[in-house]
Amino acid sequence: MNQYDYIIVGSGIAGLYTSLLAQVKGSVLLLTKAGINDCNSRHAQGGIAAAIGIGDSAELHYQDTIAAGAGLCDEEAVHILVNEAPDRIADLINFDVHFDTVDGAVALTKEAAHSVPRILHAGGDATGEHIEVTLSRMAKQSKIVILEYCLATEIIIDDGVVQGVRALDSRTGAVEEFRSGAVILASGGGGRFYKFTTNPDTATADGIALAYDAGAEITDMEFFQFHPTALRLPGVTPFLISEAVRGEGGILRNIEGRQFMYDYAAEGDLAPRDVVARGILTEMNKAGSDRVFLDVTHLPSRRVTARFPHIYRFCLVNGLDITETPIPVAPAAHYMMGGVKTNVWGETNIAGLFACGETASTGVHGANRLASNSLLEVVVFAKRILERKKEGVKPPDVSKRECFSLRDRRRRKASGKVPRPSLLALQSLMWDNVGMVRSKEGLAEAASVLASWQRAIDKPADRPFRELANIILAGRLVTEAALIREESRGAHFRSDFPAPSDTWLKHIVFRNIA
């Protein structure tokens, strides 16, 4: 009864899409630690990138992705991403995802660091939700076995080969084993690391922790993307204000009302996300303010409400009419570029273990994800997992990487009394010490505290403590990688090493070595 051809962990777009593809090939178990609709991908507002428009090409999309990745993209993976994009868009349309159209043609918009408009969207600014709801409905109507409120706690390995997973039913406390020779991690990222985040409560890096404990390689964890524009209102949870708002003509202004981004980049408001986020942070620090403003009041109000209905309604409910008043915004943690290291077929270094979506590090994002490439990465590489070909798969390139284990990292003593481990304490520690601007002293302090916390909750019993243990482990990986990388590149910025260095044109890889 507990034997399946495929076990998929996670019910976001990555998990749902992979499950729907896998059911054609065999029996599928989908494990999700919350309800099937509680996921991060439904919050994706901007859209999905694909070179399908007039004047666009896969080569242009490739060049934009490589440029954003700041020297660390895997060129083969990027070529696959951009060349397979149109076919994967066709697949989503066949799955009954309805992208927005203008005069019968798919509507395309432009986002930061894209050279041309190539972002497809659905429901204006609710693309992730539209895709996730469509796939969720199909999954519920399929033969996929869906177990909600079941948190995967261990990947079962025998002689270096995956045998299945153990999972905790958070409603009963029972732990059960499920057997399969193919386990696919699609459990999302770790945005709950940080005090200010666009991510939901479920984003606790569970797949990263599972994979690391099993011996899988984890890479590029120092590259965590902070979205430049999250709503900043007193008493209101940070809410993503899509990059597409700037793509449609929104202007960033400081508290004096001055457009400032041209002070930091020739592209102005459409510079890469890391540049915009740090530009905003600098303006906030100059003014002693906790916000800047994103202004769309100069745009036709009908255009704003039609293109961004979700953002408009959310702000209006919270007392802000964005067609009349600029939106107060500030950066917030958004997307984890690093993750479980895979090849271009989604395979890890453990036979039978795969990863896709934000949990995976396929190599396409490098040091800084190009906007709206994340949903595309999901559908491209999920498909490849189910179509993987053993013949002719190239061995991994190990020439441009440094390998570490957390066991090898020297233990440091914190400068003061270490607080008790808790999610709030973790979020403050990571925001203050491992945020958009980092330094050796702050990172070393965070590494010491995180190591102490990891030892303190070594054997968590219930879901909240398991999630805390997972996010502390993943937080250590982020922090230690950031401490090792003595340069600034993409989303990783060190105040004590503010420039990029060719010495660091390589990947930092962690692996749990017993």
Nearest to 358 by CA among 211, 241, 513: 211
Helices (H), 361-439: 374-386, 423-433
Q: Which entry of 232, 246, 273, 463 is annotated as an active-site residue?
A: 273
Task: Determine contact, residues 45/126, Cβ cutoff 8 Å.
Answer: yes
- Token digits for 51? 């070179």
Provide DSSP, 136-186. HHHHHTSS-EEEETEEEEEEEEETTEEEEEEEEETTT--EEEEE-S-EEE-
What H or E segment, with its residue span, contains residue 58?
helix 58-68
Residue 324, CA atoms < 13 Å, CB-side half-sphere? 5
Report the amino acid identity of residue 89: I
Report the amino acid identity of residue 45: Q
Residue 24, CA atoms < 13 Å, CB-side half-sphere? 7
Mark whether 42 is an active-site residue.
Answer: no
Give whole-number Cα distances, 208 to 98, 128, 260, 336, 468, in Å.
32, 22, 38, 11, 13
Task: Determine contact, residues 345/392, Cβ cutoff 8 Å.
Answer: no
Nearest to 372 by CA among 120, 14, 49: 49
The catalytic residues are 273
